[in-house]
A and B are shown apart, each in its own frame.
Chain A
């Protein structure tokens, strides 16, 4: 039986979500823009989904734009807001630990003459709101900081940063993709003007995301075409995906008490995992010790190549991650760990374990049983290589 400890990458689709999607994959095949009955039936699903997402984030339905992914939501927020407000200024402030969707969208702006400030973080990966205030100039139009980090799980002081932005009259975008299953998403509390979400990180399907766009926020669409999504995102809506997304978000967020209970359950399992792995030699926790997502346990494991460890764990039936996507075997260490002041050599030993609703104590114990053996084997091989290399004639 496989133990899945990679919920930050994606989560299993919840049965209730599949149920909510199926009608739109079968009998309700209409295009929500059509005038006829089939179209109206599909439109009903889309409208209901929009209302649900709006309710959860404390927004009006018209402030929700459905997208194809969290990445698309980030791109629409950053490129869309930066371009739409470029007459006022061409400066954007973000952090050095953002998801690549944000960083690479900023890089495109940079190539087009925008100035981007990448804020530093402390050793736990936290942004200092005072740095945000100091980075904002009269030409700054947008600040983008993630709610919680996808690699190390550190939660940012979003409300404080939101206050700074509000005070300085600068738009504030929050990438809430990783935080969404666990933290309050009230956009007024967070003082966010733009907020990105992704369905598959919280029990929904892949291929659906959303961007909250506060009313009155100018946005340049990134996809041109029909007038869907109030002309902010052209293309026939993924009705089934959106219906599943709304159902999944409602399941994790509708009842705050239930959410906190599940958070506490996962945090307890997470702590068991952290305690067990920290008991091994030369293993260190990355990210903030307290201000972190309840399901994230990420580590540096000395003298081990993270990719090798993940492969080794997989062959033992445990699915984990190095922390960032590396399917083509890129050797570049995580930009998040580097920004936290971890040197390149040590950053190669990263391991990310992320729990989910179906994770059990047995799963955690299985990992704790397998990990010491596998880590020891990998370290042994590396020591052998080092010994041979130093013994070899020059």
Chain B
């Protein structure tokens, strides 16, 4: 009998995904796995709620008990620290905007869990509670947006390749969030009414500045805020505290809203601009990957999304060298931020993407 690993975070989505697989029965034996990704606070510590806290492990275990599947904890703290947390702080110190959920998918869920976890549990596939769909056409796997466009998570999944898709299942791909909650309520899962987790699991209260200080000794060194012409218009608390597109916390009053346009680590400078100056019609991306394993063409029409829950903009993509592609959009996109993903679609099909490059 084939065995499938259900990655369980303790949230409602992965709980329902595991429950659906277990209910399906028959072909697959389901094994629930909660990944421990960062340490708790030690003796007598009261854990705050986060998707990867021991509280979440308790919830995941209760769900596994209720749906009648074995449950294990897989410790991936070391891997998560180097591939996700360190990459996160690296990005800020590099003046870029990190993409930790994508890194977690790429290196933890669909890499470490797939390989090490599958060896431990002798399983051949892994299932998660992501909202996305996988189809197979003529021996080729395709990654499709979720049926519920409001929940679609392909923005974080474009890094998956054919081998990974072949071993992955997304049981929630055809469902809407209300349907998922209804199933959880019907099965009386303890996670049914859990609030949506929005913050980054290892950044309490979204305070990444403290993380930079604690992990990298970066306390911030004040420096100039300049406008497009290079005129100093204010002082910032340290370049790594700012990301492209940011509006709040600049302390600059120029009579109209201004936004971070560029972060320059070398000179500890933050460049701001008016709304129209922060938008762009062209940008490039690096580290390109295509779900099919190859690009559709050297030059092709697609739509591009540059942030989760962002809008798709029609564009033309041109491959550059071995690793990059240039994007030209039909209308300006708001604040392409270096480090964030530019994900390419053909309708509902996620083609792949790349990391937005620093402006040349």
Binding site for B on A (CB under 8 A): 104, 305, 307-309, 311-312, 314-315, 326-331, 377-378, 380-382, 384-385
Contact = CB atoms under 8 A, between A and B. Distances in A.
A329 B75 contact: yes
Contacts of A327: 73
A309 B121 CA distance: 9
B36 A329 contact: yes
Contacts of A331: 36, 39, 75, 77-78
Contact of B120 (A312, A328, A329): A312
Given A104-B43, A312-B120, A377-B122, A385 B115 contact: yes
Contact of A307 (B34, B75, B115): B75
A125 to B, nearest CB: 25
A381 B113 CA distance: 11
A311 B121 contact: yes
A311 B120 contact: yes
B360 to A, nearest CB: 22
Contacts of A308: 74, 116, 119-120
A381 to B, nearest CB: 3
Query: What are the 5 closest A-B residue pairs judged by CB atoms, nearest first?
Result: A381-B119, A329-B73, A308-B120, A329-B36, A329-B75
Given A315-B122, A331-B77, A382-B116, 9 more contacts: A307-B74, A315-B3, A315-B70, A326-B73, A329-B57, A329-B74, A331-B39, A382-B119, A385-B116
Do most interface residues of chain A lie in helix, strand or loop, or is the interface mixed? helix
B54 A311 contact: no
Contacts of B77: 331
25 contacts: A305-B75, A305-B116, A305-B120, A307-B72, A307-B74, A308-B74, A311-B121, A312-B119, A312-B122, A314-B70, A314-B72, A315-B70, A327-B73, A328-B73, A329-B34, A329-B36, A329-B74, A331-B77, A378-B120, A380-B119, A381-B115, A381-B118, A382-B116, A384-B115, A385-B115
Interface string B1-35: 00100000000000000000000000000010010
Given A377-B122, A382-B116, A315 B74 contact: no
B36 A328 contact: yes
Contacts of A307: 72-75
B346 interface: no
Interface string B43-82: 1000000000010010000000000001011110110000
A315 B121 contact: yes
B221 interface: no
Nearest to A313: B120
A311 B75 CA distance: 12
Interface in B192-222: none
A312 B75 CA distance: 14
B116 A381 contact: yes
A23 to B, nearest CB: 32
B72 A330 contact: no
B174 interface: no
Contacts, number: 65
B40 interface: yes
Contacts of B31: 315
A133 B318 CA distance: 79
Contacts of B115: 381, 384-385
Do most interface residues of chain B lie in helix, strand or loop, or is the interface mixed? mixed
Contacts of A330: 36, 39, 75
A379 to B, nearest CB: 9
A105 to B, nearest CB: 12
Q: Which among B43, B78, B115 has the highest number of chain A CB atoms within 10 Å? A: B115
B62 to A, nearest CB: 14
A309 B117 CA distance: 11
Contacts of B54: 328
Q: Which among B40, B74, B75 has the highest number of chain A CB atoms within 10 Å? A: B75
Contacts of B121: 311-312, 315
A309 B116 CA distance: 11
Contacts of A326: 73
Contacts of A104: 43
Contacts of A384: 115
B264 to A, nearest CB: 24
Contacts of A378: 119-120
A109 B74 CA distance: 34
A311 B72 CA distance: 7
Contacts of B36: 328-331
Interface in B118-132: 118-122
B173 to A, nearest CB: 27
Contact of A328 (B40, B112, B118): B40
B211 to A, nearest CB: 20
B10 to A, nearest CB: 12
B214 to A, nearest CB: 19
A130 B246 CA distance: 67
Contacts of B34: 329
A73 B42 CA distance: 23
Contacts of A328: 36, 40, 54, 57, 73
A331 B78 CA distance: 9
A11 B36 CA distance: 29
A238 B40 CA distance: 34
A374 to B, nearest CB: 8
A315 B3 CA distance: 10
A377 B117 CA distance: 11
Nearest to A379: B119
Interface in B147-197: none
B119 A377 contact: yes
Nearest to B74: A329
A384 B116 CA distance: 9
Contacts of A385: 112, 115-116
A382 B73 CA distance: 18
Contacts of B120: 305, 308-309, 311-312, 378, 381
A308 B35 CA distance: 12
Contacts of B74: 307-308, 311, 329
Nearest to A108: B43
